[in-house]
Structure 1
Amino acid sequence: MTIDIREAYRRALDDFGALVHRIAPGQWENPTPCAGWDVRTLVNHVVSESLCVPELFAGRSAAEIGGAFDGDLLGDDPLKAFDASAAAAVQATGEGGSLTAVVRLSFGDVPGAEYITELFADALIHTWDLARAIGADERLDPELVEACAAWFADAGDDYRQAGVMGDPHPVPAGTGLQARLLAAWGRAG
């Protein structure tokens, strides 16, 4: 990967956040490409994930965190909830030693760099999901798409076997990298 993964994650969260700030009042219930999720559920998912990041980098395990960040985390001010959680996650991943830290996830211990890569990929793909749901420009940052595609080429089968994503969609020859990446993630773009 040619871009520092911490920078890629920050940029992906920034892009997601820019869309969060564009959600119109009547769009929070719009369906997303994530089966069964509306816009509010999608944003809540990213907030929940972001709130876990500082805890995990502080040495707590996913089991210790448990359901602390389940339920509605957006409250009456979804923008504030997103902004605060994203800032905390970026700070935690940007601190010295984050790449070599051991992060204790539900399926086992992983190096910090791998966990940040997973966070980055999730934020990037969910940026497209949110753009699609609110009718915004669906083009993702090409440098981030390239970084994610390079990582996911090796990691995709593991994620499908773990049941965290659907089967890839077929794409015609000559399809652009973003469309191929989304198809690999089970998105019909």
Structure 2
Amino acid sequence: MSDARRLIPAAMDRFGARVHAVPDDRWDAPTPCSEWSVRDLVAHMCFEHRWAPHVLAGEPMDAVGNVYDGDLLEGDPMRGWDRAAVASREAWTSTTAHADPVHVSFGWLPVGEYAVQMLVDLTVHEWDLARGAGLDEHLDPESVQETLAYLRGDPVMLHGPGLFADAVEIGSADPVDQMLALTGRTRS
């Protein structure tokens, strides 16, 4: 795997473009994440990206506390995402300022692993968002390959904290199908 940090700004752009393309009548539509509507999925990603500057600076989770609890969308999912993405992008593109290791919800990780975890989240949830909002589901092949390589290593983030559904069996060699299957999703 390469350093996923270089892929994150473009992945954030793609996710943001999808957020801005959600039809007005689809914000409450279900997504492949069984507990989340389209709005809930965007709120999750806002939460993750509001935390990114703190994580990349090496701040322990308890030092930040509950500052990001509550409604980060403030009634407008597009603006909520845009606000979260601005600070996150600045933090990701300032790679010389990144701490190593960084502290996440389940412990300390090398910054490169945190980066690929964020890329996994962006890539998988980009597909979830597209599916829930009825948008084109095409994904960036390089991000899919990076995500798939990480998921095939059975990382703690996949099954440890229960972030994704259990893997499903598929008969497809397509990288997107394989990535989706490893996170408990199918295109059917």
Return the TM-score normalized by structure 1.
Answer: 0.91
Which residue identity is paired with 2:94?
E
- Cα distance in 2 for residues equivalent to 1:168 and 1:152: 10
Indicate yes or no: 2:185 matched with 1:184.
Answer: no
- Cα distance in 1 for residues equivalent to 2:186 and 2:111: 31
**What corresponds to 1:175 in structure 2?**
173
Indicate yes or no: 2:147 matched with 1:148.
Answer: yes
Summarize deviations over 1:66-97 as a string: whole Å, max 9, x none: 32212211113322221121121121122133
**What corresponds to 1:102 in structure 2?**
101
Which residue identity is paired with 1:113?
G
- Cα distance in 1 for residues equivalent to 2:81 and 2:6: 18
Summarize deviations over 1:74-131 as a string: whole Å, max 9, x none: 1133222211211211211221335652211232111111111111110110000000
- Cα distance in 2 for residues equivalent to 1:64 and 1:183: 36
- Cα distance in 2 for residues equivalent to 1:100 and 1:151: 21
| Larger displacement relative to structure 2 (163-172 or 91-100) | 91-100
| Larger displacement relative to structure 2 (57-66 or 141-150) | 57-66
Which residue identity is paired with 1:178?
V
Indicate yes or no: 2:38 matched with 1:39.
Answer: yes
Unaligned runs of 5+ residues in structure 2 are none
- DSSP 3-state at the match of 1:34: coil
Distance 1:30 1:158, change over 3 A: closer
- Cα distance in 1 for residues equivalent to 2:109 and 2:88: 17
- Cα distance in 1 for residues equivalent to 2:170 and 2:156: 17
* Residue 156 of structure 1, CA deviation: 4.1
- Cα distance in 1 for residues equivalent to 2:124 and 2:97: 23
Summarize deviations over 1:123-148 as a string: whole Å, max 9, x none: 11000000000111111111111111
Indicate yes or no: 2:59 matched with 1:28.
Answer: no
Does the aligned pair in 1 maintain the 2:58–2:98 contact within 8 Å? no
CA RMSD of aligned residues (A): 1.7
Does the aligned pair in 1 maintain the 2:127–2:139 contact within 8 Å? yes
Which residue identity is paired with 2:37?
D
| Larger displacement relative to structure 2 (75-84 or 95-104) | 95-104
- Cα distance in 2 for residues equivalent to 1:23 and 1:71: 22
Does the aligned pair in 2 maintain the 1:53–1:89 contact within 8 Å? yes
Does the aligned pair in 1 maintain the 2:12–2:122 contact within 8 Å? yes
| Larger displacement relative to structure 2 (81-90 or 34-43) | 81-90
Identity %: 35
